[in-house]
Amino acid sequence: MKRYVQSAVVSCSVLAGALFLATSLSAQAPTGGAPAGGPGAAPGGAPAMGGFGGGMGGFGGMGMGGFGGGAPAGGPGAGGQRPAGGPGAGAGAPAGGMGGFGGMGMGGFGGFGGGMGMGGFGGMGGGEQSAPAPDMATLPGGIRSTEPEKADDSGFPMVKDLKASDAYPEIMKFRDGTAVTKDNWSKRAEEIKKLYEYYMYGVWHDGSEVDVSYKMNEGDNNGRKSMTVTVTRKSTGKSGTFDVNITLPTASDTVKMPEGGWPVVLGMHGAQEAVAASRGYASMTFGGGGGFMGGVTNIAADNNRHTGLFYDLYPYGEDWKEQTGELLAWSWGISRIIDALEKGAGKELNINPKNTIVTGVSRYGKAAMVCGAFEPRIKMCAPSCSGAGGVAMYRYVSEGKTYDFSSKNDSKEYKYGRNEPIDSLQATGEQGWFNNKFMCFKDPKTLPVDQHMLCMLCADPNRYLFIIGSCTGEDWVNAPAMWLTYRAAKASYEKLGLGDNIVANIHKSGHAVTAEDMNYMIDYFNEKVYGIKSKTDLTCLTTSAFELPVNKDPLFDSFGGTVPPQPKPDPAPAANANGGQRPGGGMGGFGGGMGGFGGMGGAGRPAGAPGAGAAGGAPRPAGAPGAGAAGGAPRPAGAPGAGAAPGAGAPR
C-alpha cells in the first residue's frame, strides 16, 4: 500500500552547512551509513575533502550516518561499494524522513575540477523514493491534480478527452492536419509552444512586462566577478533581486577575444567553467544562497510551493494562464541575465549577449531544454542528461533492454533498469516543475506532444541544439529515448534545411556536463558561429553507440532523415595521471552525486531495497570507472570510490 507524505523542504543553507559540518562531525554511522574511512585522498594525492564519509548514510531520521573523516580510494565511503539493499541510499528510511537522501556521497567532491558535473546527482524526487501525486483537490502551492468539470477558454481539449496513441505526434502537420512547410514553420512552432504551455510547463513570460537593471559588485571571489540583477514588474511595481556569478577568460596568445566580446555559457549551475575559460568562453551562473542549488532556487524554490523571486512577481494562480512551473521560472531567470547583458553589462564585461549557450544537468537539463525552446535569444541550447520532461521521449521505454557498450570501453551486456515514469514527475518532489494540467495525465500516450517537438522549438537558421546524454548509469533518464528524440527531431530539422543545426554527444558515463562535452560544444559552436573549422572530427556528434547494429532499434529510422554513420570505438582509456580527467567526471568527481536524493520527502525506499545505484536502483557493477576523481585526478577503472559501484548514480 502506497503512503503519501508531504515533501520535506530542504533549504540550501542546510546543504551548505552540511559541507562545513563534514569537517567537524565525528566519524559515526548512527543510521547505518557506510563507516568513515581513512584520509580520503584520490590517486595522485589530490585531497578528496575528507571523502564525505558514508555519504549521509540513510539520512532517514536526519542521522547523517558516517559523515565524518573521509574514506580512502576504493573504501566504503565516498559513495562507493554500498551493497544493494544496504543501509546507504536511504534504505529503511521511514516515510517522511527525507525520503532516503540517497547516499549523498559526493564521491570525492574535492578540487571542483572545472565543472559542476554532479556525476549521479539523483533526482530529488525521482522514482521509487517519491510518492505519486494523490488524487486530491489541492496540493501545496496551489497545485491541483484533477481537472475542472468544464473546459476552459484555451481552445484545447480536456485531458480526459484525449485519446491514447502509441504513435509519436507528427511535427510537420498542424493540429488540423495541414502540412507544415519552411514557409509556415513559424506558425507551427507557435502552435507547439502553446501546447507545451497549456499541457505541461505553464505560461512563458518573455520579459516584456518587466524592467531590468544591474549593478556590478566590488571585489573578486576566487577569480569570479559578480553582479546583482534587479527585476521590477511594471504592472504591479513589485521587484526583487538575484546575484550572478561571472567567470571570464583571460586573453592570451592562444585565447583571442572575438569581435563583439566573449561568447558566454549561461549555466543553471556551474558547468566546466575552467574548461570554458581556457577556450575563450565566459560563464555566468546564478549566485547566492550557498550550496549547489543555492542560486537557481532564489529564482524559484525547488519544491511544490511556488516561492522565490519569480513567484513573488507572478503568483501561481487557479487559472491556467496564471500557472508557470519551475522549469520555465528558472528559464525566465536566464532570460533576465541576457537582459542585463543587453542593458550594458555585456559591454562592461566584454561579453557578447548574442552568442549565448544555456546548459544544465538533470532537472536543470530539463530547464535548459525548456529555456532554449522558449527563449529565442539563446544561440545554442545544450541540455545534459535531462530525461523525462526534458529531451527523452515519454512514449519510449528502454527499461529491460540490453545494450553493448564495449565500443565505449564499458560493458558488453548493459541492461537498462527502470526509466523515470510520468507519475514520478507528478510526485511531490517534482510536480512543481510543471503546471496543474500536467498532473492530470495518467498515461503518457495521451499526451498531445512528445519531446522531439520540444526540440523543434530551437529550429532556426541562426540557432543550434546540442543534446548531451550518457550510455551507462543513466537508466533513469533513459538515454535511448533521448537518442530517439534526436533522430526524430533531426529528420524534421532536415526538412527545414537545418540538418546541421542539431547534434548530440552521448558520452560514456557521468550525470554531468563533462569536459568532453564542453570541448565538443565549443568546437561545434566555433565552427557554426565563428566559422572556425574544428580540428576534431565532429561527425561523432551525428551518431552514437545506439546506432550500432547490435543496439539499434528500427524505430530510429522510422522518422526518415539521414541515417547516421556507424560510430567509431572510443580509444582505450589512457593511463592515469595526476590532474587528468576521466570522461564523465565533471567537477573533479562530484561522484556519488547526491545519490537518489529521494523525493525530498516522498515515501522512503523500503528497507532492503537496492541502494541508490545506477540502473534505477540496481547497483553499478564494481569495476565501472568512477565518475571523475577528487581534485581532478582520475580514479582508475575499478576503484569503487568517488561514484563507482553502488551509490553513484541513483534514480533521478
pLDDT digits (tens, 9 = 90+) for 518-528: 999 999 999 99
Mean pLDDT (whole number) for 252-270: 95
Number of domains in the chain: 1
Asked if residue 570 belongs to a domain, the reply is: no
Average pLDDT over residues 529-555: 97
More confident residue, 392 or 141: 392
The rounded distance, in Å, linking the Cα atoms of 189 and 489 is 13
pLDDT range class, residue 573, cuts 50, 70, 90:
confident
Average pLDDT of the residues in 268-284? 96
How far is the C-alpha of 359 from the C-alpha of 368, rounded, in Å? 5
**Lowest mean pLDDT across 7-11, 305-309, 446-450, 546-550:** 7-11
Whether residue 616 lies inside any domain: the answer is: no
Residue 218 belongs to some domain of the structure: yes
344: confidence class by pLDDT, cuts 50, 70, 90: very high
Range of the structural domain that residue 307 is part of: 210-421+443-559
The pLDDT tens digits of the residues spanning 582-600 come to 343 333 333 333 333 333 3
Confidence label for 574 from pLDDT (cuts 50, 70 and 90):
low
Q: Is the pLDDT of residue 22 over 90?
A: no
Confidence of residue 219 (pLDDT cuts 50, 70, 90): confident
Per-residue confidence (pLDDT) for residue 554, from 0 to 100:
97
Instruction: Give yes or no for residue 249 having a pLDDT over 90.
Output: yes
Q: Is 342 helix (H, G, I), strand (E, B) or coil?
A: helix
Q: Within a domain: residue 127? A: no
CATH of residue 340's domain is 3.40.50.1820
Supply the DSSP string of 351-373, one letter for each residue.
EEEEEEEEEEETHHHHHHHHHHH
* pLDDT of 76 higher than 60: no
Residue 357 β-bridge partners = 265, 380
How far apart CA 551 and CA 5 sit, in angstroms, is 40
Report the DSSP pairing between strands 380-384 and 464-472: parallel
Q: What is the pLDDT of residues 383-402, one digit of tens each?
A: 999 999 999 999 999 999 99
Instruction: Kindly indicate the confidence band of residue 220, based on its pLDDT and cuts at 50, 70 and 90.
Output: confident
Task: Flag whether 649 is in a domain.
Answer: no
How far CA 136 is from CA of 146, 324, 601, in Å, comes to 7, 20, 18
DSSP state of 344: I
Per-residue pLDDT tens digits for 500-519: 999 999 999 999 999 999 99
Q: Model-level pTM?
A: 0.74
pLDDT of residue 163: 97
Give which of 3, 20, 16, 12 is closest to 97, Cα–Cα: 3
pLDDT tens, position by position, 455-489 = 999 999 999 999 999 999 999 999 999 999 999 99
More confident position, 40 or 547: 547
Task: Determine the 3-state secondary structure of 232 from DSSP.
Answer: strand
Count CB-CB contacts under 10 A for residue 346: 20
- Give the residue-averaged pLDDT of 219-234: 88
Band of residue 218 on the pLDDT scale cut at 50, 70, 90: confident
In a domain, 27, yes or no: no
Q: How far apart are CA 247 and CA 283, in angstroms?
A: 5
Q: What is the DSSP string of 434-500?
A: S-TGGGG-S-GGG-S--HHHHHHTT--TT-EEEEEEEEES-TTTTHHHHHHHHHHHHHHHHHTT-GG
pLDDT at position 612 over 70? no
Are 297 and 326 in contact by the 8 Å Cβ rule? The answer is no
Helix (H, G, I), strand (E, B) or coil at 387: coil
Spatial strand order of the sheet with 239-247 comes to 210-216, 225-233, 239-247, 282-287, 262-267, 351-361, 380-384, 464-472, 502-509
Q: Please give the mean pLDDT across all residues of the chain.
A: 75
| pLDDT value for 289 | 56
Split at pLDDT 50, 70, 90, the class of 182 is: very high
| 41-45, 308-312, 457-461, 547-551: range with lowest mean pLDDT | 41-45
Whether residue 457 lies inside any domain: the answer is yes
The larger pLDDT score, comparing residue 45 to residue 362, is at 362
Residues 6+ positions from 308 with CB-CB distance below 8 Å:
297, 298, 299, 300, 301, 329
CB proximity list for 425: less than 8 A, separation 6 or greater: 388, 389, 431, 433, 434, 438
In a domain, 433, yes or no: no
What are 382's strand-pairing partners?
Answer: 359
Work out the pLDDT band at 293, boundaries 50, 70, 90: low
**Range with the poorest average pLDDT among 98-112, 217-231, 427-441:** 98-112
Round to whole Å and give the CA distance between 434 and 427.
11
pLDDT over threshold 90, residue 423? yes
Strand-pairing partners, residue 285, are 245, 267
Q: Which of 2-16, 36-50, 327-341 has the highest mean pLDDT?
A: 327-341
Give the CA-trace dihedral at 296, 298, 300, 306, to 10 degrees.
150
Residue 443 in grid coordinates? 498515461
